[in-house]
Amino acid sequence: MSTSTWDAPSLTTRFDEVRAHTERLAAPLSPEDQTVQSMPDVSPTKWHRAHVTWFFETFVLDGNEPGFRPFQDRYWFLFNSYYESVGPRYSRPDRGLVTRPGAHDVGLYRGNVDERVRELVATLDEGALEKLTATIELGFHHEQQHQELLLMDIKHVLSRNPLEPVYAGRPHEPVEPDPMGWVEVEGGLVEVGHEGAGFSFDNELPRHRQWLEPYRLADRLVTNAEWLEFMADGGYERPELWLSDGIARVRAEGWRSPLYWVEHDGVWLEHTLHGTWPVNPGLPVGHVSFYEAEAFATWAGKRLPTEGEWEHAVVADGQADAAHSGGNLADLEHYHPGPAGPACDGHRLRQVYGDCWEWTASAYHPYPGFHPPAGAIGEYNGKFMSNQMVLRGGCALTSPAHARLTYRNFFPHGSRWALTGVRLADGGAPRPTPGEVA
Ligand SMILES: [Fe+2]
């Protein structure tokens, strides 16, 4: 999935950086914090730390390290996430029941595998290393994916604690929203999908053509202030705004606000990674499901962009390079969406990378001509291509090295624990007005 040039020293340096960053993220968390699973979608911190280690042990060491033996036989079972071809695995919703190995012992596991991977990379001959490089690089990106999940998951864990614990960071001072502007895009026959020598996941390929009608995109994300208007206008109670599955979910789960909002004495408060604070009107709304994003767009008389529209608009705006976007990604350590701020460097779209993953109107399906790689690694993405929607752009918990123009994140329609927000679109293929379609 990459033709990047790596040699043994650069691979080892990158390996050490990625592995150390996971430990830095876990460092503020006690062993007790690291053990809790607050709902089935959430995994305990120590499970993330162990599972990314299992990934290197399974896909890099096994079959390549002379005399390979697993660090611990049963870890094979415990820390396999979803790879059927590797073997049976422990039940995902029960990960929080596993008190042993503890956080300290997971550290020993990590240290052992780290040493063995370094040793392997240093001793493989050039040809063998070249064959293994793509898998090692996939391991880097896999671990960065879990670094983001670790933060999303601990946010949910800490949200269940009435002591309102702080993970890190400080709240942004209260801000009013900037007016929402619109960026016109001509459309036409455009190319979508990854190109070039850099890394991509298999699901970003093949690059292919799409036809786009003229459209426009909002120049910033939807704010909390706009979401409060939607709520005040009965947004969660009006079935005409919702997909059928969406309103059923609203009613079944009693949704009346984004996931982490609670009303206290008539004031809406929001749980964040830096504690519980009044909802800040000028910041992007986060932790809304696809259903909510879609209902909001309907209420606003707009729609969600398709993933092709999103990608093409970002390229047309000169923002294809995510690594130098200056977006609110995890390296800034805000760990929360920020205000849109003024447009910079002549770009018109704001908040493209970082802040919140942006729901699109596109179902997560294979691109034309997509074929997952052979073997267990083929299970990484392809088998999830049903019943999920694509999100673009990254969020405030995403590593900058992990944000990418063509990155296709995906979650089920009702998911709210990921840091997900909304950018509106308009024009292009218009919605039929009520009454036009029987
Ligand atoms: Fe994983």
Angle, alpha carbons 411-226-409 (nearest 5°): 15
Number of structural domains (the chain) is 2
pLDDT in tens, 337-372: 999 988 766 779 999 999 999 999 999 999 999 988
- Same domain, yes or no: 140 and 202: no
Distance 54 CA to ligand 1 centre (A): 9
CB 284 within 8 A of CB 222: yes
Q: Which DSSP string do the residues of 76-88 spell out, in sequence order?
A: HHHS--S-TTT--
Range of the domain at 388: 182-426
Distance 55 CA to ligand 1 centre (A): 7
Average of pLDDT values for 26-53?
97
- Same domain, yes or no: 118 and 215: no
- Same domain, yes or no: 141 and 204: no
Distance 411 CA to ligand 1 centre (A): 15
428 pLDDT above the threshold of 70: no
- Same domain, yes or no: 236 and 311: yes
Pairing assessment for the beta strands 389-392 and 357-363 based on DSSP bridges: antiparallel
C-alpha span between 346 and 263 (Å, rounded): 40
- Same domain, yes or no: 331 and 406: yes
Please state which of the ranges 10-19, 202-211, 421-430 shows the lowest mean pLDDT: 421-430
User: Order of strands, edge to edge, in the sheet holding 275-278?
Assistant: 261-264, 267-272, 275-278
Would you say residue 30 lies in a domain?
yes
Distance 63 CA to ligand 1 centre (A): 20
Would you say residue 419 lies in a domain?
yes
User: What is the pTM for the complete model shown?
Assistant: 0.94
Would you say residue 293 lies in a domain?
yes
What pLDDT does 372 receive? 86
77 pLDDT above the threshold of 90: no
Would you say residue 166 lies in a domain?
no
pLDDT in tens, 163-194: 999 999 899 999 999 999 999 999 999 999 99
**Domain CATH for 405:** 3.90.1580.10
Name the residue with tokens 């670094």. 147
Decide: helix, strand or coil at residue 103. helix
The overall longest dimension of the chain from CA atoms, in Å, is 70
Would you say residue 438 lies in a domain?
no
Give the percent of the chain with pLDDT over 70.
96
Highest-confidence segment of 1-10, 247-256, 339-348, 382-391:
247-256
CB 165 within 8 A of CB 158: yes
- Same domain, yes or no: 350 and 260: yes
Would you say residue 276 lies in a domain?
yes
- Same domain, yes or no: 262 and 409: yes
pLDDT in tens, 219-240: 999 999 999 999 999 999 999 9
- Same domain, yes or no: 144 and 234: no
At 303, give phi and psi (nearest 5°).
Answer: -150, 175
Distance 142 CA to ligand 1 centre (A): 6
- Using the 3D structure, point to which of 128, 159, 190 is the last residue of a domain: 159
HSE, side-chain direction, 13 A CA sphere, residue 107: 11
Would you say residue 431 lies in a domain?
no
- Same domain, yes or no: 155 and 188: no
Distance 41 CA to ligand 1 centre (A): 13
Would you say residue 124 lies in a domain?
yes
DSSP code of residue 273: T
